[in-house]
Each structure stands twice: as C-alpha cells, then as structure tokens.
Structure 1
Amino acid sequence: MASNAPVAPTWFDTYLRSLLDWQAACSASVLQAQQYQWGMLAACQQSAKAVQQELWDEWTCRFGGGVPLDG
C-alpha cells in the first residue's frame, strides 16, 4: 500500500531547521542591539536633564533673585 502523505527528505528538514535557527539568532541580536541603543539614549537624556537643571538654577540665582540652597 502506498501512502499519499508527502515525505520530506531529512536533509530538507535539517536545512529548514538551520535556516530558522539562523533567523532567530539574527533577530535576537538585532533586538539586543536596539535595547542597548535605547539604554544609551536614556543615559544621554539623563545627562542633558542634569545640565539643563544646572543652567536653570544658575539663571534663577543670577537673574531671578533666588538663593542657591547648597551655597
């Protein structure tokens, strides 16, 4: 009796599995790189925030009549 179910060769299964593994590895590395980029952007924004706050405090002390709390 002949079976009507298609039989894929084992080399094709192996090739397909390796191709999917390669695609998953590339996707994971791209996602990790993007997460590092977001982390660097957040760190850059934190430093810009600190600089802006310092400039605002200096302007307030000089022109706004404020008194520095730590001086």
Structure 2
Amino acid sequence: MPRLLAIGKRRRHECRSGRSCYREAQAIGKEQAPMMNIAHSIDFMPMSRAVKGYKIHPMGTHIFYGVDIED
C-alpha cells in the first residue's frame, strides 16, 4: 500500500480536485485489496400471510415483540 499512502500525503492543491485523488486511491485500494467478497447470503422467512409485524433480524434471532396473527 505504499502508493496509497503517498496519495494520502499529497496536499489537496497537488490534485486536480479532491475527487481525483479519492478515485485514484479507490482504484489502488481495489487493485491491492487483501480480500474480496465474492458471495453473501439473502435471508428470507416463509410464513403465513396472517402473520403481521414480523421482521427478519440480521443476527438470525427471532424477536416476536410487535408480531400479531390476524384471524
């Protein structure tokens, strides 16, 4: 990451604009990234249409506060 650090040390007036330095830093970071996310899960919960107010929790737990079943 030496090139990325060099960009960070530049003064703002040395870049054509702040965005050009930022774009250059993003390209270098992407090129030299130590990891790459290649997959992620999509969570879904099959349930009856009568269940109202249930929301999927991002940690995988089930919280039933505010959940109701219509008759």
Shorter-chain TM-score: which interval?
A: under 0.3
Higher relative contact order (CA 8 A, sep 6+): 2
Given the two structures, how large is their TM-score scaled by the length of structure 1?
Answer: 0.25
Tell me which structure has the larger Cα radius of gyration. Answer: 1
Larger fraction in helix? 1
Larger fraction in strand? 2
Given the two structures, how large is their TM-score scaled by the length of structure 2?
Answer: 0.25
